[in-house]
Amino acid sequence: MTAPLALTMGEPAGIGGEITLMAWRDRVTSVAPPFFVIDDPTRLTALARAIGVDVPVRAIDDPSEAARVFPSALPVLAQALPRLPIPGQPDPANAPAVIAAVERAVTLVRNRQAGAVITNPIQKETLYDAGFAYPGHTEFLGALAHVAHPVMMLAGPELRVVPVTIHLSLVDALASLSTAAIVTCGRVTAAALTRDFGIARPRLAVAALNPHAGEAGAMGHEERDIIVPAVAALAAQGIDVSGPTPADTLFHAGARTRYDAVLCMYHDQALIPLKTLDFERGINITLGLPFIRTSPDHGTALDIAGQGVANPASLIAALMTAGVMAARRATQPAEA
């Protein structure tokens, strides 16, 4: 039996608390694995009452209590908030608790007290005031795990995509794109597809950067100078890889039958097709870490926070995917 999953609070003024409550409420129909949330139990109890969700909240002292509590109540490992959150109004005073919840979840999973880390959305602008020095969760988790190049995968029922450059402006993304970065993403992605998704020989497609894959240099040289050498290097490592393929022909139904994941050159090239195909159930998975991390693929939704109308589908998908990954890893030899 795998350890319960550790869910972090995310931005307290956002929808993280209510989708957490709803995920527990829907635990039977969604077959969600046992999880606990690192959060303030008082605020979750008040939030459940405010949005009219019948979810009992029970504080636990240790993750080992979560499996016993989970069938009858939402287990909460207490992380006190200095101020009572107001929906839609992030408070910098609560930012250290948000950061601490992520750090605690990582410590628990590294100590095998939790089977995976699932993170609720954060409001990065608010965290910056508390000294948060990272563009997002992916980079922060990489720093906590001492992993220089964590890889972001976005996954939905019909598509998996990996942006080679992540939280950068388009100008900066193009400037930082390199053969080495593409090769690293491809190698990490192929290994994760085998280890965590049970795909014996993963097929990777590589998206071109420019229209028509550069049109033999008429529309850009990045394919010739950066992407083609990366594809060749991945193939030389025994990875089943194709491309670079023009992005406008890569995501239709027929094309999606020919690969298991796509390496995309920049953030929106990856996220636009994923969210177009299934906006509600897409999730974020960080590859290359010594532990499992998933999250909903949406933001804090401050505009609807506290109204009880948020859709928990992406969080539920993140929990279910983490549970499957954790169960698969439990059958494998332990990492050094």
* pLDDT of 42: 95
* Residues in CB range of 71: below 8 A, 6 or more apart: none
Could you tell me whether strands 160-163 and 151-155 are parallel, antiparallel, or unpaired per DSSP bridges?
Answer: antiparallel
Cα 334 from Cα 270, distance rounded (Å): 32
* pLDDT of 91: 95
| Low-confidence spans in the chain with pLDDT less than 70 | 1, 214, 333-336
* pLDDT of 336: 39
Read off the tokens for 204: 């990777």
3-state secondary structure of 132: coil
Domains of the chain by start residue, with CATH: 1-150+285-336 (3.40.718.10), 158-277 (3.40.718.10)
Distances (CA, A) of 24 to 21, 119, 139, 213, 317: 5, 15, 28, 46, 13
pTM for the predicted model, two decimal places: 0.92
* pLDDT of 215: 73
Cα 229 from Cα 16, distance rounded (Å): 42
* pLDDT of 129: 83
- Amino acid code (one letter) for 147: V
User: Residues 174-181: contacts with CB within 8 Å, 24+ apart?
Assistant: 174/209, 174/222, 174/266, 177/209, 177/222, 177/226, 177/265, 177/266, 178/226, 179/226, 179/227, 179/229, 179/230, 179/233, 180/230, 181/149
Cβ burial of 148 (10 Å; 0-12, 13-18, 19+) is exposed
User: Residues 237-243: contacts with CB within 8 Å, 24+ apart?
Assistant: 237/187, 239/186, 239/187, 239/190, 239/202, 239/204, 240/201, 240/202, 240/203, 240/204, 241/186, 241/203, 241/204, 241/205, 241/206, 242/203, 242/204, 242/205, 242/206, 243/205, 243/206, 243/207, 243/208
Cα 257 from Cα 20, distance rounded (Å): 34
pLDDT above 70 covers what percent of the chain?
98
Sheet-wide strand order for 57-60 = 57-60, 74-78, 35-39, 5-8, 117-118, 293-296, 283-287, 151-155, 160-163, 261-264, 203-207, 240-245
* pLDDT of 293: 97
Nearest to 278 by CA among 258, 304, 297: 297
Q: What is the pLDDT of residues 221-278, one digit of tens each?
A: 898 999 999 999 999 999 999 999 999 999 999 999 999 999 999 999 999 999 999 9
